C-alpha cells in the first residue's frame, strides 16, 4: 500500500487532499499543529507537531518511517497569513510568517527526502498561490512567502530530480475555506469582497477545496510522470484578469 504525508492537513484544502489520497488507497500521515494524539490502533498517523521546529519535524518523520516504512508522496499545505503593511508590521509577525510558510517546507524536505527515496511514486507538491505573482499592499509577508515557495520548489526539483524524485507546486486562486473566511473577516469590506469574488475569476466563483486536491492528485499520479519543477496554476482565470 502506498503512503503519503500531508502538512496542514487539518485545514480546508489539507483535509480535502487527505480525503482524495484516502480514496485512492494511500495510508496517511497527517501533520498539523492542532491534531489530537491519535489512538494506538489508528491506521493513519495524525501527528500534532510544530512544523517550524526542526527536532519535532525530524522526530515526526522517524515516527512515519516506523509506521509506514517509506513515503510515496507528500504535500506541503501548511501556511498562515498576517495582514499588515510593512511600516506597521512587527518583526515577530514577519518571522512567524517566514518560519511557518517557508521554513516548514524546507524542514519537511530536509528530513523527509530520505524516506521518500524509499517509496515508489516519489513525488512532492508544495502549495503556492497566485499571490506569489500578484502583490497585495496589506499582505506583503504572505505574498513573499508564496513567491519563496515557488522558487524553493524550482530549486528542490533540480536537487531531488537527480535522486529520482519529482517536485512541483500548485498555485490556487481564491478558494472557499475557513482560511479565506478568516482573511476576509479582517477586511472592513470583507463581505463585499466575498460577494464580488466572482468578478475576480473568469469562472465567476472561488475554487472548491476538492478542485485543488484534484490538481495535486494529478501531479502525484503516473499521468504526470514527466512533469517536474513546474507550477500548475489552478485559479479559475484569476491571473488572466490581472
What CATH code is carried by the domain that includes residue 77? Answer: 3.40.50.720
Rounded to two decimals, what is the model's pTM?
0.88
Domain assignment present for 185: no
Domain assignment present for 184: no
Which residues are the active-site residues?
142
Give the chain's domain count: 1
Domain assignment present for 147: yes
Domain assignment present for 193: no
3-state SS record for the chain: CCEEEEECCCCHHHHHHHHHHHHCCCEEEEEECCCCCCCCCCCCEEEECCCCCHHHHHHHHHHHHHHHCCCCEEEECCCCCCCCCHHHCCHHHHHHHHHHHHHHHHHHHHHHHHHHHCCCCCEEEEECCHHHCCCCCCCHHHHHHHHHHHHHHHHHHHHHHCCCCEEEEEEECCECCHHHHHHHHCCCCHHHHHHCHHHHCCCCCCECHHHHHHHHHHHHCHHHCCCCCCEEEECCCCHHHC
Domain assignment present for 192: no
Question: Residue 23's domain spans which residues?
Answer: 3-174+208-235
Domain assignment present for 198: no
Domain assignment present for 182: no
**pLDDT digits (tens), the chain, 242 positions:** 889 999 999 888 998 999 999 999 999 999 998 755 544 444 556 788 899 999 999 999 999 998 888 999 999 999 888 889 999 999 999 999 999 999 999 999 999 999 999 988 789 999 999 999 988 778 899 999 999 999 999 999 999 998 899 999 999 988 776 666 565 556 554 555 555 566 788 888 888 899 999 999 999 999 999 999 999 999 999 898 87
What confidence score (pLDDT) does residue 23 get? Answer: 92
Domain assignment present for 168: yes
Amino acid at each position: 500500500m502506498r503512503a503519503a504525508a500531508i502538512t496542514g492537513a487539518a485545514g480546508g484544502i489539507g483535509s480535502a487532499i487527505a480525503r482524495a489520497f484516502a480514496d485512492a488507497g494511500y495510508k496517511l500521515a497527517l501533520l498539523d499543529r492542532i491534531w489530537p494524539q491519535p489512538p494506538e490502533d489508528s491506521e493513519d498517523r495524525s501527528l500534532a507537531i510544530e512544523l517550524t521546529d526542526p527536532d519535532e519535524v525530524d522526530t515526526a518523520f522517524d515516527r512515519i518511517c516506523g509506521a509506514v516504512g517509506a513515503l510515496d508522496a507528500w504535500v506541503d499545505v501548511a501556511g498562515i497569513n498576517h495582514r499588515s503593511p510593512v511600516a506597521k508590521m512587527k518583526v515577530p509577525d514577519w518571522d512567524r510568517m517566514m518560519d511557518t510558510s517557508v521554513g516548514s517546507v524546507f524542514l519537511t524536505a530536509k528530513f523527509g527526502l530520505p524516506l521518500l527515496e524509499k517509496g515508489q511514486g516519489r513525488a512532492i507538491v508544495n502549495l503556492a498561490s497566485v499571490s506569489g505573482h500578484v502583490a497585495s499592499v496589506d499582505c506583503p509577508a504572505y505574498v513573499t512567502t508564496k513567491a519563496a515557495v515557488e522558487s524553493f520548489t524550482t530549486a528542490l526539483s533540480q536537487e531531488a530530480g537527480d535522486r529520482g524524485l519529482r517536485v512541483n507546486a500548485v498555485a490556487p486562486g481564491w478558494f472557499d475555506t475557513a482560511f479565506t473566511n478568516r482573511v476576509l473577516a479582517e477586511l472592513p469590506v470583507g463581505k463585499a469582497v466575498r460577494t464580488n469574488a466572482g468578478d475576480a475569476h473568469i469562472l465567476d466563483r472561488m475554487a472548491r477545496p476538492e478542485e485543488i486536491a484534484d490538481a495535486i492528485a494529478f501531479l502525484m499520479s503516473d499521468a504526470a510522470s514527466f512533469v517536474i519543477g513546474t507550477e500548475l496554476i489552478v485559479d479559475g482565470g484569476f491571473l488572466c484578469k490581472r
